[in-house]
Amino acid sequence: MAEIQIEISGGHYANGNHIHGGGGRDGIFAGGGVAGGRVDLRASVPSVFCFGQAGAGDGEVRGNRSGNEELDRIADCGQIPQPANGSRQFNARLASSPTTAVSKQYRCRTVHKRGAVYNLAIPNAIPNRASRAARRTPSLRGVGQLCCALVGLVLAAHAADWSGPERQLATKIVAVTGTAAITLTVENHSSLGKRDGEIIQNGLRSALESAGVRFARSDRPVSTQATSDRATSQPATSDATAVKISLSENSTSYVWVAEIRRGTGDPAVVMVSAPRSESLTAAHESVPLSLRKIPLWTQEDPILDVAVLEENTAPTRMAVLEAEKVAIYRWLAGKWQQEQALAIVHARPWPRDLRGRLVPARDHLLDVYLPGVVCRGGGSPVTLSCRESDDPWPLVPASSGGSLSVFPSSSFPSPESTAVNIAPVGAFYAPMRNFFTGVLTPAVGKFTTVPKFYSAALLPRDKYLLWLFAATDGHVHVVDGVNDQAARFDWGSDLASVKTSCGSGWQVLATSAGEANGDWVRAFEFPDRDPVAVSGPVDFSGGVITALWTEAKGDTAIAVVRNRETGNYDAFRLAVACSQ
């Protein structure tokens, strides 16, 4: 069987002809008008190869057909949707073969050779033996067509229908932009797989085109997790309205948010939601890791942090930080019993949104960090000594500092793990607020300060450390010691990193961005500078996450959640598990 080359248009799968010389448009086929171009299948439609008569000759032939004529005269597989306006160009280079590439959604049938011809035989060309054999074997061709039809029907039955929310979001966008030229960016931050994300991107573009929107060329780069509109019908202008669509989700629905920015004014935001179904969830591309939550403690009074002090197969001793005390518990006789309650002495009143942290130490039991106060606990029985201080809070606990392993991954081609030295970086906390000032000690590369932030996470690379800061301006600042890149990942304000034996060896745990149905936490990896979800979201039964800290060992994290129904505060340990 001769080779058929196919490239997917749109996003980071776009080929060079499609981006730079094609001038074509998205659709089932997007011809480039460039000699030597290949067949471009719509990115959302995986291809199925069907046996059928493809034509008698070799070489490259181009044809044009008006959008008002029926496209089912091509070697389609049934009835292909009509283009919205104008004509579509088809540019196919097919070696002579009894094989035709078609969408999986359609049944195969023989090409009609009339009107504009898409696979016209070159005059005086001699068909090869494979073509003559295929034509002398109608039964084999019929079997191939039947198989293609059955496969197409089975796959189409499992395909999700996103047309409803696509039209709804397009209508809301057009109500803001009118028919003015726009640049379009679609970013997938949900658990939807690559294929579904491309289907939605193309569907949104088609819905906007149908509503009369014109597209201006976008000059922004395409990342591995965001696909930008490049093959457009209008040149870029300074008057173009930027439309950025984020595909996110909560525990019950997919939420698509469009941020519409025109000039220097404030952006307009519109959104739609689509319910999540069990059948759709089963069809998603599986995530490689799983995130588990392990209950540790529940009480009525607010919990600021929890630290596991001793454990075997399960925790046997732990400390719970409250506003006015540190309570130490031990597991005895099948239940938790309070061992000690240590008062926290402070002269100034606490800020309204109080935060605090427990950090187990190497040469004593633990340290306590509160706004303007640092306490040291140790001895037997344990005593707690507190003093007013503006000492920096540790972003890397001392027990986790030093030399840390970097596990093999796509980012580190060496088959053996390497190690990097991590300095015990600290950050100064604003004593009357609920965030860090941005002043770091020691510096991260050339940066002694970063924007004010709520939380931070680190990701060791083979030659440097990548830091993520959840800033108070809503951005996540990605700092590598040389550059500070501000990005919007549709995350909440709490981040933590964990080192594991799964995946790349390091994952970032990030909270959701203020979900109405409750917060969730999800694990991400960073092959480069864009996050890739590697676990499903873990929700907390409608609760609100009030704290998220990496534990001292570095391989797990502590999440504190306020339960909306009971009003209690629950503490969980979050652990990443390698999926089987």
The DSSP annotation for 221-265 comes to: PP-SSEEE--S-SB---TTPEEEEEEEEE-SSEEEEEEEEE-TTS
- Name the pLDDT band for 212 (thresholds 50, 70, 90): confident
Query: What's the pLDDT at 510?
Result: 97
Domain closes at, from 94, 129, 158: 158
Helix boundaries (H) for 28-137: 129-135
Q: Where are the beta strands (DSSP E) in 16-96?
A: 39-41, 47-51, 60-66, 87-93
Residue 371, preceding peptide bond in cis (omega within 30° of 0): no
Query: What's the pLDDT at 214?
Result: 85
Query: Collapsing DSSP states into helix, strand and coil, what is residue 472?
Result: coil
Task: Give the contacts of 32 (CB within 8 A, at least 6 positions apart).
Answer: 17, 18, 21, 22, 23, 24, 40, 89, 91
Comparing 62-66, 266-270, 296-300, the range with the smallest average pLDDT is 62-66
**Are 403 and 485 in the same domain?**
yes
Q: What is the sign of the dihedral through the CA atoms of 403, 407, 410 and 413?
A: positive
Structural domain includes residue 357? yes
Count CB neighbours of 341 within 10 A. Answer: 14
Q: Where are the beta strands (DSSP E) in 344-435?
A: 357-360, 366-370, 373-378, 383-388, 393-394, 402-406, 418-422, 426-429
Domain closes at, from 104, 130, 158: 158
Query: What's the pLDDT at 442?
Result: 93
- Residue 456 clears pLDDT 50, i.e. is over it: yes
Per cent of the chain over pLDDT 90 is 40
* 478-520 confidence digits (pLDDT tens): 999 999 999 999 899 999 999 998 888 999 999 998 767 789 9
Place of tokens 């925790």: 315
User: Bigger pLDDT: 71 or 147?
Assistant: 147
Alpha-carbon distances, residue 275 vs 246, 475, 490 (angstroms): 16, 28, 19
Query: What's the pLDDT at 115?
Result: 40
**Are 419 and 557 in the same domain?**
yes
Query: What's the pLDDT at 423?
Result: 81
**Are 301 and 272 in the same domain?**
no
Looking up residue 254, the CATH number of its domain turns out to be 3.40.50
Structural domain includes residue 35? yes
Contact 324, 386 (CB under 8 A): no
Q: Exposure of 164 by Cβ count < 10 A (0-12 exposed, 13-18 middle, 19+ buried)?
A: exposed
Structural domain includes residue 23? yes
Take residue 456 and report the two structure tokens written for it. 């931070």
Query: What's the pLDDT at 491?
Result: 94
**Are 75 and 224 in the same domain?**
no
- Name the pLDDT band for 245 (thresholds 50, 70, 90): very high
**Are 138 and 220 in the same domain?**
no
Take residue 470 and report the two structure tokens written for it. 């959840």
**Are 556 and 573 in the same domain?**
yes
Task: State which H helix or E strand residue 352 sits in.
Answer: none
**Are 261 and 362 in the same domain?**
no
Query: What's the pLDDT at 464?
Result: 86
Query: What's the pLDDT at 397?
Result: 62
> What's the pTM value of the predicted model, to 2 decimals?
0.53
Query: What's the pLDDT at 150?
Result: 60
d(CA 551, CA 573) in angstroms, rounded, equals: 9
**Are 449 and 542 in the same domain?**
yes
* 81-107 confidence digits (pLDDT tens): 444 444 444 343 334 444 433 333 333
**Are 182 and 325 in the same domain?**
no
Contact 207, 186 (CB under 8 A): no
What domain range includes position 242? 163-283
Task: Give the contacts of 244 (CB within 8 A, at least 6 positions apart).
Answer: 185, 187, 258, 259, 261
Structural domain includes residue 195? yes
- Name the pLDDT band for 147 (thresholds 50, 70, 90): low
Looking up residue 406, the CATH number of its domain turns out to be 2.130.10
Mean pLDDT of 60-87: 42
Contact 512, 250 (CB under 8 A): yes
- Residue 166 clears pLDDT 80, i.e. is over it: yes
* Neighbouring-strand partners of residue 441: 426
Mark 355-375 as b/e (b = at least 16 C-beta within 10 Å).
Answer: bbbbbbeeeebbbbbbbbbbb
Contact 455, 438 (CB under 8 A): no
Structural domain includes residue 453? yes
Domain closes at, from 261, 283, 305: 283
- Residue 140 clears pLDDT 50, i.e. is over it: yes
Structural domain includes residue 1? no
Structural domain includes residue 415? yes
Query: Collapsing DSSP states into helix, strand and coil, what is residue 287?
Result: coil
* 178-205 confidence digits (pLDDT tens): 888 888 989 887 767 777 888 898 889 8
d(CA 350, CA 370) in angstroms, rounded, equals: 9
- Residue 231 clears pLDDT 70, i.e. is over it: no
Structural domain includes residue 430? yes
**Are 42 and 85 in the same domain?**
yes
- Residue 299 clears pLDDT 90, i.e. is over it: yes
Query: What's the pLDDT at 275?
Result: 82
**Are 375 and 510 in the same domain?**
yes
Mean confidence (pLDDT) of the chain: 73
Query: What's the pLDDT at 15?
Result: 36
How many separate domains does the chain show? 3
**Are 251 and 374 in the same domain?**
no
d(CA 506, CA 497) in angstroms, rounded, equals: 7
